[in-house]
């Protein structure tokens, strides 16, 4: 993918995801030129889920107001618990309480598929640790639209099922450790920024 064509990053994770996100997101610099949209499978009352933690540890801004917000470079958009996060054709985010997909709301597939339709070859999809199959169909759609997909090495995942399934069906452009994913995103952002 041509670096100048990269336009957005979508990330999905489930079991073990908080630690995975805490490994990746704080590495990205304040001038990171891409928006990052994140789905983490969590119940609304899940302990330890606090986007404010990321605000204190990340150089990037955390987008607090979500529904109908324009998607801006250098911001992180977390799907709220129990809402699907979608990318609209006009490059805004929307929230939905439509039925669960893959037993999940928010669903990684919903975010990945709607983002793939909008950003096409400019999209980077990242699938991390998890104990479900959510995200695989979304990664395949990202690939079909010309985007790039990074999948966490299952041997480094707290819950390897989700990355292992994605790899098995050919949905991974690259299979990397968390640290390598963070470094790759950082490097690609620097190329995009030039």
Close Cβ partners of 139 (under 8 Å, ≥ 6 residues apart) = 112, 125, 127, 149, 151, 166, 171, 172
Which residue in the list 84, 104, 132, 134 is annotated as catalytic? 134
Identify the residue whose tokens are 């996100």. 21
Q: Is 107 a catalytic residue?
A: no
What is the chain's Cα-based Rg? 15
Instruction: Please state, in angstroms and rounded to a whole number, the distance separating the CA atoms of residues 43 and 50.
Output: 12
Q: Is 67 a catalytic residue?
A: no
Which residue in the list 14, 104, 107, 132 is annotated as catalytic? 14
Q: Is 41 a catalytic residue?
A: yes
Question: Order of strands across the sheet with 148-152?
Answer: 61-62, 75-78, 36-40, 8-13, 123-127, 148-152, 174-176
Paired tokens of 49: 């889920």
Report CA-CA distances (Å) from 183 to 78, 122, 150.
Answer: 21, 18, 12
Which residue in the list 41, 107, 132, 153 is annotated as catalytic? 41
Q: Please give the positions annotated as active site.
A: 14, 41, 134
């Amino acid at each position: 993918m041509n670096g100048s064509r990269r336009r957005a990053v979508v990330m999905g994770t489930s079991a073990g995801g908080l630690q995975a996100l805490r490994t990746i997101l704080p590495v990205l610099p304040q001038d990171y030129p891409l928006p990052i949209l994140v789905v983490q499978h969590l119940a609304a009352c899940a302990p330890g889920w606090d986007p404010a933690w990321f605000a204190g540890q990340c150089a990037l801004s955390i987008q607090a107001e979500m529904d109908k917000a324009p998607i801006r470079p250098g911001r992180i958009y977390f799907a709220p618990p129990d809402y699907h996060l979608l990318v609209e054709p006009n490059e805004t985010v929307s929230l939905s309480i439509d039925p669960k997909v893959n037993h999940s709301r928010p669903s990684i597939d919903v975010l990945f598929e709607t983002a793939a339709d909008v950003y096409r070859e400019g999209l980077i999809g990242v699938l991390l640790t998890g104990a479900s199959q959510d995200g695989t169909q979304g990664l395949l759609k990202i690939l079909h639209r010309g985007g790039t997909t990074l999948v966490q090495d299952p041997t480094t995942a707290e819950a390897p099922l989700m990355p292992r399934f994605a790899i098995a069906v050919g949905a991974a452009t690259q299979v990397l450790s968390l640290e390598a994913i963070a470094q790759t995103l950082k490097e690609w952002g620097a190329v995009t920024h030039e």
